[in-house]
Every structure is written in structure tokens, then in C-alpha cells.
Amino acid sequence: MKKLFSRRNFLKGGLATTAAAAVLKNKETKASGDFEGYPDGMGVLVDLTRCVGCRSCEAACNKEQELPEPAKPFNDFSIFDEIHHGQKRRTDETAYTVVNRYDVPELDHPLFRKFQCNHCQEPACLTSCFVNAYTKTPEGAVIYNSKVCVGCRTCMIACPFYVPTFKYSSAFSPKIMKCVFCYDTRLKEGKAPACVEACPQEALTFGKRVDCIDMGRQRIRETPGKYVDHIYGEHEVGGTAWMYLSSVPFDKVGFDTHVPKEPIINSVKDFLAMVPMVLTIWPGLFVGFHLLATRKEKMMEMEKEKELAKQKATDEKEEQV
Amino acid sequence: MRTRKKIMRTALALTVGSFMITPITAWSMEASDAPETVTIDSMSKLYGPVEFDHSMHVGYASCQECHHHTTGEVVADPNCARCHNSADENDVVSCSECHEANRFNEKYLKTLEDPKLYHIDKPGLKGAYHLNCVGCHTITSGPTGCVDCHAMTEDGEKMFNTGAFAPAKGTSSSGQKH
């Protein structure tokens, strides 16, 4: 009779299963990294060549989001010269968006850049949050729920654009403060965010994200020489809802051009997949190793003790005698 | 003379707003037919209306520089000329006729989804005014400050925390602390 289960067959089968598992696992990993966002998600195209630095967007945001009164009026342009800790103004708990001025040597006029949450297609803040305080809505906004947030501030570190800020000033209800695309008050109802509506120059154009990309491409194609041939945010960190056009290379106007072209989660996913395995299997495995490794010593110790006891017994006997 | 007056009046009406439109045809439009001043007040909320001196600007720019292909002059931009190559004038030449006042409302955005539509990126009315005016003023050293063209209203002062609504120095609880 033929052997049904030889050692060779067993090994072959095992190898095939392992390979299949590896392939399947790979596919799964890839699928989650390839999320391209909701198809009808909205976006904003920011055209730096149009912005005149009037700060209307900042004022509109302040009123819409009921943020505290600013230190200086919104038509005070001396703030463009402010440097805080060696860098230009940043968003904080009092301002979800700021405009900064950049003096570019090759231009005879400055460029202005509006800064706020870019509302990533696959946000790092969301994927890093272990209590799921963040949501990417089908409309395109990345919103935050302060009720479940535990204040760990991992999102602040995870964000490639350093957007989420913390309300340190409030001891009793601290929370993350960031642009929410005016989700609750406007976007949910299909309306453009307050900053877009306030912009006189239409430097901010609101529309479906896919349409914004088309618009950007058209502007680049039809006004040769006006723009660098790149839409910042089309592919950066896997794509963002807010995208930018510029007449000078993006690194000259404060953009990080070294961010990866894929979602931030892809950089850590392989590692993160290992964590549960490490946590569940490793303790048992190593305790087992430890027990095995120390078993011999223990046995020897026990034997020694036994011998000692025997010796003692015989010694005592001898003494009695 | 009566016809001339009529044209002037119609042109004024058309340019100011698109409410009382009575389309006119077959009249060749000339710079002298245009209104002397146009009050742009369709969006005045944070800023007051703009008293636009049209006759003065006629001396600075040709019609098509602002009115594109609508006034009967051959369009300047070769890209526009690909389609708008005839010098036919439009019935209506006012900005608001083509540039949507509610540029980002859902209904208008829906119309942009038409795959055959070329003008997917036409600025809204506010954008068209500012891009055109500020763009040219920057080149020709015209006025470019916000209040150079329109005075800020009380609503505007509230919005910008300025004037009567300016933050009191030193008492503000907030500010850029970074």
C-alpha cells in the first residue's frame, strides 16, 4: 500500500500553505493602503498665484468656528513679519487657519500661503488614534470627536503637516483643535467652508476633489509658465482634499516636499501588524524557552538538595550512633 | 437720440445687475455706448458698494480685456479664440450674466460635472471682479488695498475685528503664542 502521508509530502504541503498565507496577507495589506478616498469627497484647490494675503479667510474662520478674539485685527498685516520660535505663524487653539507671507528671490512680489488641515484621504491622525476619535466623512472632512478623545496627542505627532493642536489653556476640557472643513455648519449641507466663501480672489476653489484636480490641470496646461507642473496634495501622503498650485517650487513657500507619496500608515503598517502577534505569542513562547532552558538547572538543584538531605540524614544517624 | 439713450439705459441696467434684462440685439456696441459709472453692489455686505468709473477705465483698457468675447471685439487671448473666433457681440455684456454669484452652491457645482463642458473653472462673480481689477491694478500700479475701492461696513469691521471692534490692547485672552 502506498504511503498517504510521507514526510516529504508533509513538508511540501506545509511550504505551500505558508506561501499561500504570505500571498493572501500581502494582498490584504495592500488593499487597505490603496484606499483612494470617497469618490464624491469634496476638496479645495488653493492657488498661491491668486492669494493677496488679505486674511479674509482667517477672519471668516474665526467667526464661523467661534474662536476667541484675535490679538490683532485681521486687517493688520504686521503679523506677516512675526516669527515665533524661529518659524512663521502656525495654527493653534485660537486659529484653525493662518496665512503666511513668503518672499521668493526670483519674484518681484511676495507669495502668500494659507495653511490649515489638508484633510487627507487616508489621515495619519485617524489611523494613529487608538480610540477612533477621528472620522473621515464621505464629504471629505476629517473631523474629531472630543467625547472619546483621551488626550494622548499621538495625532499631533502622527500628522505629517503638524496640524492638530492642543487646547492647553483649558485644564478641565482640553481637546484637539483643528480645521474641520466647517463640517457641522456647512459641508454637511453641501456648502463651501467659510474661508472659501470669504476669499475675494477665489484663490480657494471649492468643488469635488476630482473636479478640483481637473481645474488644476487645466490652469497648468492653459497658462504655460505660470505654474510649476505639480498639484501639491494630489498624491502627497496618499492624497489630500486640500490641494495647491504654485508659481514657484513648493519648498520655497513652506511646503514639505519630502512627505511620502503614500499614506503615512503604509510606513508603519508592517510593524503594526506584528504587534498583536508579538503580544500574544511571544510571552508564551519565551516563557516556554525559559522553562526549558532552566529545567536542567532546577533538576540538578533538586537532586543536590536531595543528596544534601540524604547526607544530613546519614550524618545525623552517625552522630546518634 | 432716443435710441441712444435707450441703449445707454439698457447697458446700465445690464451691467449693474441681471434682474431687469431686456435683451437687445443687432446694435453694435461701442465704448461710448457704455455707462459712465456702474454701481457694483450685488455682494456688498462686509464692504460697501463700488462706484466703478467705467468711462475712466475705457481709456485704460480695451473692451475685450474685461468683457472677453462679448462686446464685438476680437478676443485677445488666443486660447479663447479657439472657440470664440467670431467677433459677434453678445446680447448681454454684464459680468453677472456669465459669472455665477453663488459660485460654490451645490446646484452650480453639479453643472460643472458635464463631461462636455469646457468652462469648468470660470470664476464666480466676486472672483471675476477681484481677479480682473486687482490683477490689472497690480500691473498698472492702480489701487490694490481693500478700502481703496470699497469702504468697510460695520459688518466688515466686526468680521475683521477692526475699527470699533478692534481687540483691546493687552486684554486679549488669545493670540499667537507660538
**What is the domain-level CATH number for residue B9?**
3.90.10.10
- Residue B95 — very low, low, confident or very high, per pLDDT cuts 50/70/90? very high
Tell me what pLDDT residue A83 has.
Answer: 92
Look at residue B120 and tell me if it is in a domain.
Answer: yes
- Residue B3 — very low, low, confident or very high, per pLDDT cuts 50/70/90? low
Answer for the pair A153, A90: CB distance below 8 angstroms, yes or no. no
Q: For residues A58 and A53, give the distance between their C-alpha atoms in angstroms, rounded to a whole number.
A: 10
Tell me what pLDDT residue A41 has.
Answer: 94
Look at residue B168 and tell me if it is in a domain.
Answer: no
Tell me what pLDDT residue B30 has.
Answer: 64
- Give the 3-state DSSP-derived string for chain B, with helices as H, strands as E and coil as C: CHHHHHHHHHHHHHHHCCCCCCCCCCCCCCHHHCCCEEEECCCCCCECCEEEEHHHHHCCCCHHHHHCCCECCCCCCHHHHCCCCCCCECCCCCHHHHCCCCCCCHHHHHHCCCCCCCCCCCCCHHHHHHHHHHHHHHHHCCCCCHHHHCCECHHHHHHCCCHHHCCCCCCCCCCCCC
Helix (H) or strand (E) segment spanning residue A211: helix A209-222
Tell me the Cα Rg of chain A.
Answer: 31
Q: Find the CB nearest B162 among A54, A73, A98.
A: A73
Within 10 A of A189 (CB to CB), how many other CB atoms are there? 11
- Residue A30 — very low, low, confident or very high, per pLDDT cuts 50/70/90? very low
Cell of A160: 505629517
Q: Find the CB nearest B131 among A89, A191, A202.
A: A202
> Taking 70 as the threshold, does the pLDDT of residue B11 lie above it?
no
Look at residue B174 and tell me if it is in a domain.
Answer: no
Q: Give the range of the structural domain holding residue B152, as residue numbers without chain letter.
A: 2-163
How far does A191 lie from chain B, in Å, by closest CA?
6
Look at residue B61 and tell me if it is in a domain.
Answer: yes
Which of residues 66 through 125 in chain A touch B, CB cutoff 8 A? 67-76, 79, 82, 84-85, 87, 89-90, 92, 94-95, 98, 109
Closest A-chain CA to B108: A207
Tell me what pLDDT residue A285 has.
Answer: 92
How far does B53 lie from chain A, in Å, by closest CA?
20
- Partner-chain contact B127 A202, CB within 8 Å: yes
Sign of CA pseudo-dihedral B77, B78, B79, B81: positive
Residue A100, burial from CB neighbour count under 10 angstroms (0-12, 13-18, 19+): buried
Q: For residues A8 and A17, give the distance between their C-alpha atoms in angstroms, rounded to a whole number.
A: 14
Answer for the pair B27, B7: CB distance below 8 angstroms, yes or no. yes
Cell of B174: 488669545
Shortest CA distance to B53 belongs to which of B36, B31, B77, B78?
B36
pLDDT in tens, A36-72: 678 889 999 999 999 999 999 999 999 999 999 999 9
Is residue B137 within 8 angstroms of chain A, CB to CB? no
Helix axes A265-320, A7-33, angle to 10 degrees: 130
Answer for the pair A176, A144: CB distance below 8 angstroms, yes or no. yes
Amino acid in the structure at residue A205: T
Mean pLDDT over each residue of chain A, to the nearest integer: 89
- Partner-chain contact B162 A79, CB within 8 Å: no
Look at residue B113 and tell me if it is in a domain.
Answer: yes
Report the complex ipTM. 0.78
Cell of B150: 470699497
CATH topology of domain A33-263: Alpha-Beta Plaits (3.30.70)
> Residue A207 in 3-state DSSP?
strand
pLDDT in tens, A115-152: 999 999 999 999 999 999 999 999 999 999 999 999 99
Look at residue B171 and tell me if it is in a domain.
Answer: no
- Partner-chain contact B173 A69, CB within 8 Å: yes
Shortest CA distance to A208 belongs to which of B57, B85, B109, B145?
B109
Which of residues 148 through 207 in chain A touch B, CB cutoff 8 A? 190-192, 196-197, 199-202, 205-207
Closest A-chain CA to B146: A54
- Partner-chain contact A89 B176, CB within 8 Å: yes
> Taking 50 as the threshold, does the pLDDT of residue B19 lie above it?
no
- Average pLDDT rounded to a whole number, residues B63-91: 86
Residue A90, burial from CB neighbour count under 10 angstroms (0-12, 13-18, 19+): middle
Q: For residues A60 and B43, give the distance between their C-alpha atoms in angstroms, rounded to a whole number.
A: 16
Shortest CA distance to A72 belongs to which of A82, A87, A64?
A82
Q: For residues A68 and A48, give the distance between their C-alpha atoms in angstroms, rounded to a whole number.
A: 27
Number of domains in chain B: 1
Within 10 A of A20 (CB to CB), how many other CB atoms are there? 10
- Partner-chain contact B174 A94, CB within 8 Å: yes
Q: For residues B60 and A298, give the distance between their C-alpha atoms in angstroms, rounded to a whole number.
A: 101
How far does B157 lie from chain A, in Å, by closest CA?
9
Chain B residue numbers with beta carbons less than 8 Å from the beta carbon of A50 are 131
For A193-207, B10-24, B113-127, which range has the lowest pLDDT when averaged over its residues? Answer: B10-24
- Average pLDDT rounded to a whole number, residues B142-162: 94
Size of interface A-B (CB pairs under 8 A): 109
Residue B134, burial from CB neighbour count under 10 angstroms (0-12, 13-18, 19+): buried
Look at residue B170 and tell me if it is in a domain.
Answer: no
How far does A233 lie from chain B, in Å, by closest CA?
19
Domain boundaries, chain A: 33-263, 268-307
Chain A residue numbers with beta carbons less than 8 Å from the beta carbon of B105 are 190-191
Look at residue B178 and tell me if it is in a domain.
Answer: no
Tell me what pLDDT residue A172 has.
Answer: 80
